[in-house]
């Protein structure tokens, strides 16, 4: 009965103060929705590969190679897994996973598809990882060559259903495969991102023999399963033994000074390990900390708003407290009533917040590149999170006002003496400073990220990227076999200023090869980035020649004997006069190589990798008849017509093979997707924090005016004008902004400096962002104050003083 009474009183109070109730519920709703969305993201990131039964016993083994230059790779050579199982009894099993390349041509009867995420792997993959087969036997699905296991979506797309797919034939490129299983879609978070698995034994015997005999050929990710949890494992001695017994004798046969060693990476936590090259995209644990703090702070400032609004109404509720106490209500009863009111508000905010989540989920998925559904909120972990948010927010929001209001003295209130909050007012101001400091931090962070992104977009990368279309050329198409003819057909149209073929371009993964370079009259093995291209590559990208000459189709020996390097390579190799220096690749024993020549040209440095990375040495090889990409420079104003011609010519050469192209500038910008996501999230939550802070300022101004109403009335009677009253209010709030700035600016400076260290090329500390953030907060403060100042101007001071 008492609870029912509390509920009625709480509901009446909410309806009586509609404006304050709306502000309280709105602020908390936005805060709760923000916290739920961030919790979804954090939970998803933390759950990568956590669904595997053997997860605590699985580790990836990785390799570090030093060829006069260190490579810390996520990959190993092909024989590593079998050798570890053979040599060390604590290793129970292994699985190797190899990428089959980018987009692949899949032929099913007379239909052609372009698909990616096809992985070569061992048959043990279904024993080690919990990828559930819907059709087929896990032990035999990939047991032989030319077998493929499709995911459910591809099986349905190609053959109508998973069951119908079994035993059917398809071509991947020019190789025929038999569907021997159908696996569930990879809907659970995993770093093993697949559409299909093919049997690794499909590799030609000669290729397997070559790979199994080379301990330095990094080709696959290798996972090991141990007989005990990896966390309890002491395996350093075995790793050192493996290097000593296997790797060092292999190096000695080549007379090389190269070294290699191995390390285990436990599957648990692997998703956040970004320390290795040639790895699949990984998460960033520091971003989880940032987003977690965002959720916490947004909830806190929304709660602070509720507290300040409750206290701003304390004077109006003082008589209610006095009457209830006079009628026998104790402090506990009053405290419970006010806690009940806060719980009711938070519960209402939670319901509205869930509605906001449903509305915003699509936009949030687009921003974060996730695929959350509203049903994900009913996962037991998310339900516990929601319950925690509800209880903690209700307690934080209700406890402080309940304690303050329940301590009002009824005798003084009923005699007409309004309560004074005293020391609680200082705590209120401290809470307001926390709100303002967080908002300033968010604004500075957003502006700083935006400045860095603008810098990345505007920086001169050393090559042209406008109106250049990049075409993927599958090796199983007629275009690949008639590159020159296809190129000539395009150049016959005025829409194309030039066409170049290459194996890589800026914005793609530039490969790395083992070269021998001349140093001090000796040949030294060194791993160096490379691009294979034709003679038009330099003109299309507008690369500047510094010394020597470029490649020429008229000089037949250039294919085997000509190399072009960048300035960084000449500097790092110690070549003051780089022209004529000897370089080898396609290395063999006894100092021999399939390609042995000299440097014929030096080009000015250009950023072939993202600006996260420092400039590296680059060797360009002359390969006019092996192009995986065509870079086509379109004439100004003829982009649309040029693309139409490209589609027509492609159809003439490639038939019904899908045409795949992108613009070079888009490829370049795609390197910064993670930063773009961070900017969007910061921008959204900066707006939310400003909005909630504005509501908080509104509440605090309301309270301040309520407490100083008599003072302001006297001042008005004595001739004070509106601007004078506004200045009195502004002085107090500007002081709060000043204190918040002293707290937030050093923190923002430290955070921005740490984040910018991820980039080799970055802006200086963006001090203008700090100034703009303070000006914006000051503007929001003035807007929040203006309503109360205008309302104060319309108040009759005589009536206020008469009531006092």
Instruction: For 527-579, write each residue's pLDDT tens digit.
Output: 889 999 999 999 999 999 999 999 999 998 998 899 999 999 999 998 999 99
213: alpha, beta or left? (left if phi > 0; alpha if psi -120 to 50): alpha
pLDDT at 1: 47
In whole angstroms, give the CA distance from residue 83 to residue 250: 14
Kindly state the helix (H) or strand (E) to which residue 703 belongs, with its residue range.
helix 673-707
pLDDT at 73: 86
Instruction: For 624-645, write each residue's pLDDT tens digit.
Output: 877 788 899 998 778 889 899 9
pLDDT at 793: 67
pLDDT < 70 positions in the chain = 1-21, 68-69, 254-257, 309-338, 396-427, 476-478, 589, 699, 703, 706-714, 716, 718-722, 792-794, 796-804
pLDDT at 199: 94
The residue among 456, 523, 73 whose CA lies nearest residue 263 is: 73
How many Cβ atoms from other residues are within 10 Å of residue 434's Cβ? 18
Give Cβ neighbours of residue 70 (< 8 Å, ≥ 6 apart). 64
pLDDT at 432: 79
Parallel/antiparallel/unpaired status of strands 104-108 and 111-115: antiparallel
Q: 424 and 311 in contact (C-beta within 8 Å)?
A: yes
pLDDT at 682: 78
Say how many CA atoms lie within 13 Å of 689 toward its Cβ. 31
DSSP collapsed to 3 states, 636-675: CCCHHHHHHHHHHHHHHHHCCCCCCEEEHHHHHHHHHHHH
How many Cβ atoms from other residues are within 10 Å of residue 243's Cβ? 17
Whether the predicted model's global pTM rises above the 0.75 cut: yes
Q: If 0-12 CB within 10 Å is exposed, 13-18 middle and 19+ buried, where does residue 263 land?
A: middle
């Amino acid at each position: 009965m008492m609870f029912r009474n509390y509920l009625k009183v709480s509901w009446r109070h909410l309806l009586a103060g509609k404006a304050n109730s709306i502000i309280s519920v709105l602020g908390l709703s936005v805060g709760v929705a923000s916290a739920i969305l961030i919790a979804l993201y954090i939970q998803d990131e933390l759950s990568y590969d956590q669904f595997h039964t053997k997860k605590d016993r699985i580790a990836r083994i990785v390799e570090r190679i030093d060829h006069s230059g260190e490579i810390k790779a996520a990959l190993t050579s092909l024989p590593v897994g079998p050798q570890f199982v053979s040599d060390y009894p604590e290793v129970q099993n292994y699985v190797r996973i190899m990428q089959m390349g980018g987009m692949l041509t899949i032929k099913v009867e007379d239909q052609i598809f372009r698909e990616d995420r096809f992985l070569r792997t061992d048959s043990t993959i279904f024993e080690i990882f919990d990828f559930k087969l819907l059709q087929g036997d896990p032990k035999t699905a990939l047991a032989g060559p030319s077998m493929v296991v499709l995911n459910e979506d591809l099986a349905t797309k190609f053959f109508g259903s998973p069951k119908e797919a079994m035993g059917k034939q398809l071509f991947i490129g020019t190789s025929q495969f038999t569907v021997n299983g159908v696996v569930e879609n990879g809907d659970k978070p995993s770093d093993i991102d697949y559409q299909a698995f093919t049997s690794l034994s499909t590799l030609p015997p000669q290729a397997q023999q070559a790979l199994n005999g080379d301990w330095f050929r990094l080709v696959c990710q290798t996972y090991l399963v141990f007989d005990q949890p990896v966390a309890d494992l002491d395996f350093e001695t075995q790793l050192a033994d493996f290097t000593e017994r296997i790797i060092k004798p292999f190096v000695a046969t080549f007379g090389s000074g190269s070294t290699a060693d191995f390390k285990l990476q436990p599957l648990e936590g692997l998703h956040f390990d970004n320390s290795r090259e040639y790895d699949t995209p990984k998460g960033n644990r520091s971003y989880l900390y940032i987003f977690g703090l965002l959720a916490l702070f947004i909830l806190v400032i929304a709660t602070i708003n509720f507290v300040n609004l409750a206290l701003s109404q304390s004077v109006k509720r003082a008589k209610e407290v006095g009457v209830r106490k006079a009628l026998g209500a104790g402090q506990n009863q009053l405290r419970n009533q006010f806690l009940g009111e806060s719980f009711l508000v938070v519960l209402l905010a939670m319901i509205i917040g869930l509605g906001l989540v449903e509305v915003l989920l699509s936009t949030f998925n687009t921003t974060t590149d996730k695929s959350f559904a509203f049903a994900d909120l009913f996962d037991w972990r998310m339900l516990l999170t929601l319950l925690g948010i509800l209880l903690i927010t209700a307690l934080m929001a209700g406890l402080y006002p309940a304690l303050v209001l329940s301590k009002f003295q009824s005798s003084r209130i009923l005699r007409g003496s309004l309560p004074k909050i005293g020391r609680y007012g200082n705590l209120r101001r401290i809470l307001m400073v926390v709100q303002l400091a967080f908002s300033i931090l968010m604004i500075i962070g957003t502006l700083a990220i935006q400045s860095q992104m603008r810098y990345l977009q505007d920086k001169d990368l050393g090559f042209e990227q406008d109106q250049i279309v990049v075409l993927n050329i599958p090796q199983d198409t007629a275009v690949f076999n008639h590159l020159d003819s296809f190129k000539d057909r395009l150049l016959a149209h005025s829409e194309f200023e030039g066409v170049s073929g290459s194996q890589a371009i800026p914005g793609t993964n530039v490969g790395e090869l083992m070269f021998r370079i001349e140093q001090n009259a000796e040949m030294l093995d060194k791993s160096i980035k490379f691009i294979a291209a034709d003679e038009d590559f330099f003109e299309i990208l507008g690369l500047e020649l510094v010394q020597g000459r470029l490649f020429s189709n008229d000089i037949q020996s250039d294919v085997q004997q000509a190399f072009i390097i960048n300035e960084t390579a000449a500097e790092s190799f110690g070549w003051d006069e780089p022209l004529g220096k000897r370089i080898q690749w396609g290395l063999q024993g006894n100092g021999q190589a399939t390609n042995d020549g000299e440097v014929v040209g030096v080009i000015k440095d250009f950023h072939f990798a993202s600006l996260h990375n420092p400039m590296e040495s680059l060797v360009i090889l002359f390969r006019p008849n092996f192009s995986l990409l065509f870079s086509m420079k379109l004439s100004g104003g003829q982009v649309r017509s040029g693309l139409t011609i490209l589609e027509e010519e492609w159809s003439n050469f490639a038939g019904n093979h899908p045409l795949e192209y992108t613009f070079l500038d888009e490829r370049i910008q795609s390197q910064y997707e993670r930063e773009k996501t961070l900017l969007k999230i910061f921008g959204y939550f900066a707006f939310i924090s400003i909005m909630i802070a504005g509501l908080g300022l509104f509440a605090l101004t309301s309270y301040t005016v309520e407490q100083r109403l008599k003072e302001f009335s006297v001042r008005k009677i004595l001739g004070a004008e509106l601007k004078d009253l506004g200045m009195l209010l502004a002085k107090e709030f500007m002081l709060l902004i000043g204190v918040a700035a002293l707290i937030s600016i050093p923190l923002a400076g430290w955070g921005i400096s740490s984040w910018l260290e991820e980039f080799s090329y970055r802006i200086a500390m963006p001090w203008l962002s700090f100034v703009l953030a303070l000006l914006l907060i000051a503007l929001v403060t003035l807007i929040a104050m203006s309503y109360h100042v205008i309302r104060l101007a319309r108040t009759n001071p005589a009536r206020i003083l008469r009531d006092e």
